[in-house]
Amino acid sequence: MNQSGLHLAIIMDGNGRWAEQRGLPRPAGHRAGARAVRAVVEAAPALGIGTLTLYAFSADNWRRPPREVAALMGLLRRFAIQEAQVLAKADVRLSFIGRRDRLPGPMLEAMAKSEALTATGRSLHLRVAVDYSARDALLHAARHLAQAPAATREGFGALLGSPDVDLLVRTGGDQRLSDFLLWECAYAELMFLPVAWPDFGPADLAACVGDFRARDRRFGGLTAPAPASAR
């Protein structure tokens, strides 16, 4: 079981721009991005990644042109349907985070079926954020917290239903969190890459994890001095 390993979160940015730079319609970039997801998921367990959370569609993405939103919803539905069998065979659990009350019925049906089919996966927990907003998630948890005045940080985190993030990677060149896992990223290591998501592959993933493992994570404390014998 690998789900106690590294929690990697990725903001998969740059799909539309990748397509536009090649004279293609924006949905072509999203389709290329879906292929990149498969390659990254296949490589993740061997790198010690236990949980992989991907930002696929934010609550603010509803502001995009209706045709692009419809294309994204169709792509996400096809991903849930087509990848579920593959993920199940690879012992990968697939789940979705975010609101579900605004999603199309066929999308909800595909999500539920894929979650059920992969529920026993243990090599990796793949979490896909759809219609997700960290601020909305925090507000929802705070409403429940009001009923439990003795709540702790750990308890509040449990209300969010998401483990702390160890490493957050954003592709596409922008350097912001964009309302993604704000509480969970309190002590996350951050990496912002110029590469567009469709061009991000297993080698990039391995480089990010290697960089992460070389970092000194102090969590507000101090690095322990090396033993005298090691100096």
What is the tens place of the pLDDT at every residue in 118-143?
999 999 999 999 999 999 999 998 88
Task: Please say if the pLDDT value at position 192 is more than 90.
Answer: yes
Predicted pLDDT at 149: 63
Domain count along the chain? 1
Query: Is 226 domain-assigned?
Result: no
The stretch 53-66 carries a mean pLDDT of: 96
Report whether 193 contacts 34 (CB < 8 A): no
Query: Where in the sequence is the domain holding 85, given as residue range(s)?
Result: 6-214
Radius of gyration of the chain (CA): 18
The stretch 6-31 carries a mean pLDDT of: 95
Neighbours of 53 (CB within 10 A): 25
Query: Is 227 domain-assigned?
Result: no
Predicted pLDDT at 12: 98
Selecting among 2, 13, 166, 204, the annotated active-site residue is: 13
Predicted pLDDT at 2: 46
182 or 146, higher pLDDT: 182
Query: Is 229 domain-assigned?
Result: no
Task: Please say if the pLDDT value at position 227 is more than 70.
Answer: no
**Which band of pLDDT confidence, cut at 50, 70 and 90, is reported for residue 219?**
confident
Please give the order of strands across the beta sheet that includes 189-192.
92-97, 124-132, 49-58, 6-11, 167-170, 189-192
Query: Is 181 domain-assigned?
Result: yes
Selecting among 2, 15, 61, 204, the annotated active-site residue is: 61
Query: Is 79 domain-assigned?
Result: yes
136 in catalytic set = no
pTM score, two decimals?
0.91
Domain containing residue 177: CATH number: 3.40.1180.10
Neighbours of 227 (CB within 10 A): 7
Of all residues in the chain, what percent carry a pLDDT higher than 90?
81
136 or 145, higher pLDDT: 136
61 in catalytic set = yes
The stretch 57-64 carries a mean pLDDT of: 96
- Cα–Cα distance between 54 and 94 in angstroms, integer? 11
Predicted pLDDT at 229: 53
- Per DSSP bridges, beta strands 6-11 and 92-97 are unpaired
Query: Is 219 domain-assigned?
Result: no
**Which band of pLDDT confidence, cut at 50, 70 and 90, is reported for residue 225?**
low
Query: Is 223 domain-assigned?
Result: no
Distance of CA 110 to the CA centre of its chain: 19
